[in-house]
Every structure is written in structure tokens, then in C-alpha cells.
Amino acid sequence: MVCPCGCGAILDMNLVPDEKAVWRARVEKDGTGTLHPSVWRQVGCRSHFFIRNGKIRWCD
């Protein structure tokens, strides 16, 4: 996905459960998506956010 902060960085989230640093994706009843845990970029823009019910929830 493209970073939602607008920096243009491409973010890859590993969904393979047997690997380290893995995220879980879920389709909600309303068809939106949720990603767990949060995404926290350690370089570049350093964005930190959750995706809940298809919406970006920024962390302070």
C-alpha cells in the first residue's frame, strides 16, 4: 500500500503467519478492512497508524 501520510512510500505488510513481523488482515461485516497491529515506519516519514474498518487511525 502507499503510505497514507502522502510521502509516497510503498509499504509492504507481511501476512504470512509463520514469519516474523506479521500483520493480520480482516474483512469486516460491512466490507471494510482492518489491519492489526499498527503500522509504524522506522525510517522516512515515521508514520504510525492503525487501519480500522477501512479508516486510518493515526497514533500520537
Instruction: Write out the chain's pLDDT in tens, 60 residues.
Output: 999 999 999 999 988 888 887 999 999 999 999 999 999 999 999 999 999 999 999 998
**Distance of alpha carbon 3 from alpha carbon 10, whole angstroms:** 6
Instruction: Supply the pLDDT for residue 21.
Output: 79
* Buried/exposed code over 23-50 (b: 16+ C-beta within 10 A; e: otherwise): beeeeeeeeeeebeeebeeeeeeebebb
Instruction: Supply the pLDDT for residue 29.
Output: 97
Question: What is the residue range of 43's domain?
Answer: 1-17+25-60
Residue 9: which residues within 8 A CB-CB, separation 6 or more? 2, 3, 41, 44, 45
- Give the number of domains in the chain: 1
